[in-house]
Amino acid sequence: MPTIVHNLQFLDFSVNDISGLLPDNIGHALPNLVRMNGSNNGFQGHLPSSMGEMVNITFLDLSYNNFSGNLPRSFVMGCFSLKHLKLSHNKFSGHFLPRETSFTSMEELRMDSNLFTGKIGVGLLSSNTTLSILDMSNNFLTGNIPSWMANLSSLNMFSISNNFLEGTIPPSLLAISFLSLIDLSGNILSGALPSHVGGEFGIKLFLHDNNLTGPIPDTLLEKVQILDLRYNKLSGSIPQFVNTESIFILLLRGNNLTGPISSTLCHLRKIRLLDLSDNKLNGFIPSCLYNLSFGREDTNFMIGPAISKITPFKFYESTFVVEEFVVMSSTLQGIEIKFSTKRRYDSYFGATEFNNYVLDFMYGMDLSSNELSGVIPAELGDLSKLRVMNLSRNFLSSSIPSNFSNLKDIESLDLSHNKLQGRIPHELTNLSSLVVFDVSYNNLSGIIPQGRQFNTFDENSYSGNSLLCGPPTNRSCEAKKSSEESENGGGEEDVDEAPIDMLAFYFSTASTYVTVLIGIMILMSFDCPLRRAWLRIVDDSIASVKGMLP
């Protein structure tokens, strides 16, 4: 590398196949560098200590490489002009940042997906009032979330997911005024949920996969747009949804929630994904759930305000949700949601101002693995834009509503492991988008409908229903076929009469002949006026026949 290049201010060698080490003298050779992007290459080794001489650099992106080792003390103290630092997806280790860090002007700090260990140091960034984005996810950090983080007054997006953090969530952290997204998922956090969140309306809150306990405060929901509390130990009833129409995605799967599904849930008119599965909810399914739009109304789904002056950033990634923000294009690039459907978790991408993604058209409801009973409300058939409905593993005992045929966009319908009765409505064969259909382990009876998508379902979709017959099972049901086809308007033509049983016809004719013959023989054996009259009739008949002969 040249000894010194005074005039170079912008250097971009990203997205190549460059490997090896960065030159030891890179900081000395480029003293006036303002912006450097070396991301998406194959660099290895430590960061050169000479990088601490880049006192004018404001933007540094070395993400997606194989750098390792600790961050040099000279680097974190010398590069005091840095505003945007991306070191994510490397193998850096040691403490998250040395105690002597001088990043007082930092606006964006992304250190996710490395091997950093230890606690988050006291006062590490506490004097910073400009930090807007902080990502420390996917490391090996331990200890508690320090309360001084609430002093990051400009913090807009914060992720510390998938670490080993313990203790409670500092209520002051969620009270930051400009907060729009916070991800604390995948840790060992315990205690109760904070009762309030600060910031503007439309906050994205990801707290899943922790050990949080207690009820869900009603007040927590007032400003939330996405709320993910899956796989905690939360108890109590589903909160009262009053003045919470801003919620687009509500995920409460895998907790200990009890009681009925409150009718106030029907106030979530903008909901797109609703997951209440794997709890202990009981009672009936509210018929008012048909009020939920699930895409029937234009909800103008946008995840937060436009963001400017930041580089592309994959901020959040877990079982359900991945959010990716594009900063230099001054807009949110998209959101990916993974929702349980088609017997697996599928990814659905969100929309932006400039792009249309699948999440624009993804609507799902999962109430499975609870203790719900009673009928399946026929009104659910009015959710015409729904793509996923899972009511399996409950105690539902009604028939399958025939107006489920109105679910024109449904791709996955799971009603298995209930106590459903009656026939499978033939009208469901009109569901041309249906990929997964499961009614196994119920008390259904009759002929399995055939045609269109129903020709693609295997026997597993119907197992555990001994009174179902016809393909794809090996149980024949000819005796039921005519009557059920008549009910469904089926059959190739109308049949006026049932087929004649020839064996019964022959038996009836023979019996009649024998009975008449025996009666005549008995009559002839007695000398009575009736016998003599009969003989005269026979003689007259013979004489009449002879008279007719030539």
Please list, residue by residue across 374-405, b when 16 or more beta carbons sit within 10 angstroms of its beta carbon and e when fewer do: eebbbbbbbbebbbbbbbbbbebebbbbbebb
Model pLDDT, residue 153:
87
The pLDDT confidence band at residue 293, using thresholds 50, 70 and 90, is confident
pLDDT tens for each residue of 327-371: 322 223 344 455 565 555 444 444 333 334 445 567 899 999 999
**In this model, does residue 200 exceed pLDDT 50?**
yes
pLDDT exceeds 80 at position 172: yes
Would residue 447 be called left, alpha or beta, if left means φ above 0 and alpha means ψ between -120 and 50 degrees? beta
Higher pLDDT, 357 or 541: 541
477 confidence band (pLDDT: 50, 70, 90): confident
* 236-258 mean pLDDT: 88
- Scored b (16 or more CB within 10 A) or e, 226-260 reads bbbbbbbebeeebbebeebebbbbbbbbbbebeee
Most confident of 2-11, 109-118, 260-269, 345-354: 109-118
140 DSSP β-pair partners: 117
Residue bearing the bigger pLDDT, 122 or 332 = 122
Give CA–CA dist 464/31, Å, rounded: 74
- Is residue 173 predicted with pLDDT exceeding 80? yes
Distance of CA 187 to the CA centre of its chain: 22
**Residue 476 pLDDT level (bands cut at 50, 70, 90):** confident
Decide if 56 is inside a domain.
yes
pLDDT reported for residue 40: 97
Predicted local confidence at residue 90, as pLDDT: 98
- What is the model's pLDDT at position 437? 95
Query: 500 in a domain, yes or no?
Result: no
Does the pLDDT value for residue 210 go beyond 60?
yes
Per the CB < 8 A criterion, the answer to whether 206 and 183 are in contact is: yes
Q: Which of 73-77, 264-268, 523-527 has the lowest mean pLDDT?
A: 523-527
Residue 107 in this model has a pLDDT that exceeds 50: yes
For residue 51, is it within any domain? yes
Report whether pLDDT(498) > 70: no
Band of residue 101 on the pLDDT scale cut at 50, 70, 90: confident
Predicted confidence (pLDDT) at residue 77 exceeds the cutoff of 70: yes
What is the reported pLDDT for 401? 96
Of the listed ranges 195-209, 356-370, 465-479, the one predicted with least confidence: 356-370
CA–CA dist 350, 439 (Å, integer): 31
pLDDT band of residue 549 (cuts 50, 70, 90) is low
Range picked from 96-105, 130-139, 169-178, 489-498 for highest mean pLDDT: 130-139
pLDDT at 96: 82
Average pLDDT of the chain? 81
Is 9 domain-assigned? yes
Share of the chain above pLDDT 90, in %: 55
Residue 356: how many other CB atoms lie within 10 Å: 12
pLDDT at 457: 94
pLDDT-derived band of residue 149, with 50, 70 and 90 as boundaries? confident
Q: What is the number of domains present in the chain?
A: 1
Quote the domain boundaries for residue 92.
1-106
Count the alpha carbons within 13 Å of 265 in the hemisphere toward its beta carbon: 24
* Mean pLDDT score, 305-321: 32
CATH code where residue 70 lies: 3.80.10.10
Residue 100 forms part of a structural domain: yes
pLDDT score for 317: 31
244 within some domain: no
Give residue 357's pLDDT: 47
Mean pLDDT of 27-48: 95
Q: For residue 188, is it within any domain?
A: no
Question: What percent of the chain clears pLDDT 70, i.e. is strictly above it?
Answer: 73
HEC letters along 260-303: CCCHHHHHCCCCCEEECCCCEEEECCCHHHHHCCCCCCCCCCCC
| pLDDT at site 487 | 55
Lowest-confidence region among 24-38, 53-67, 159-173, 514-528: 514-528
What is the value of pTM for the model shown?
0.80
243-257 average pLDDT score: 88
Q: Is pLDDT above 50 for 239?
A: yes
pLDDT recorded at residue 333: 36
Q: What is the pLDDT of residue 481?
A: 58
76 lies in some domain: yes
